[in-house]
Amino acid sequence: LQTRLQAGQGYGNTLNCVLTVYRNESVAGFFKGMSLPLASMAVYSSVVFGVFSNTQRLLSQLRHGDPAHAPALVDTALASVAAGFVSVSISTPVDLVKIRLQMQTQPYTEANVKLKATVPGCPVYRGPIHCFRTVLQKEGIAGIYRGAGAMLLRDVPGHFFYFIPYTFFCGWITPDGCVSPNPSSIWLAGGVAGAISWATSNPMDVVKSRLQADGVYLNKYKGTLDCILQSYQNEGLKVFFRGIAINTVRGFPVSSAMFLGYELSLKAMKRGQTEIKP
């Protein structure tokens, strides 16, 4: 729904989008492009949280001579920015394939050009592997990483507003005297952080979605700046807030689960290391 609201045409609001997708594509329409993000989620999460955690440890080592020293706020900020940079290398191709699969059934109308949607005929892409291979053959590596600039502008500040609010809210919610936050504090702080992150990064998420959806039929945008200017000129400032409700609501449970899994995994590994040591 988020992709169609941001990059599609003819959807007045979220409810209208839900009804249109269901009417045209049934329940299967809501799960298009799901397989590749699902398959890569474990790798993506481990890399992002791994870079964040290890960057914090490195900075603590450089500053205090002890990697286990509690990181300063500036260290957390630098670690979140590093995680945002690294995440783009993994998430850009995955998002591109997902968006192309989701948007290939949408009609494209531009000036005197009108291309019919491929429903119920043959789709442009038969699946994620075929989509990846087709884009690579026709557009090369640059095509696979189309929208990477917009994704950098989304993910670097997005991860900043992901880890910093989590650190702040986790410390605020955790009762005094507790060495580490309890699961409920982690769950709540992670959810709030996810909602804040997606709300602040939504404008560039719209640009990224449009750039990656562009190319299924014709190339409308020359780059990130051109996409921003065309979107603003044609639809006004409100275009950059498309899908913000879905992104914010979705961000809460997803981020709650992410941070809870991350913190519990760290505790389990630390406990295991302590038990192994003689």
pLDDT of res. 119? 43
Please tell me the class of the 146-277 domain: mainly alpha
Query: What mean pLDDT, rounded, does the chain reach?
Result: 84
Q: Is the pTM of this model over 0.95?
A: no
Tell me the domain boundaries of the chain. Answer: 146-277
**pLDDT tops 60 at residue 43:** yes
**pLDDT tops 90 at residue 68:** no
For residue 170, what are the CA distances in angstroms to 105, 125, 174?
Answer: 43, 44, 6
Residue range 3-24: average pLDDT? 76
Residue range 163-179: average pLDDT? 82
pLDDT of res. 94? 93
User: Which range has the worst mean pLDDT, 35-39, 48-52, 194-198?
Assistant: 35-39
**pLDDT tops 70 at residue 110:** no
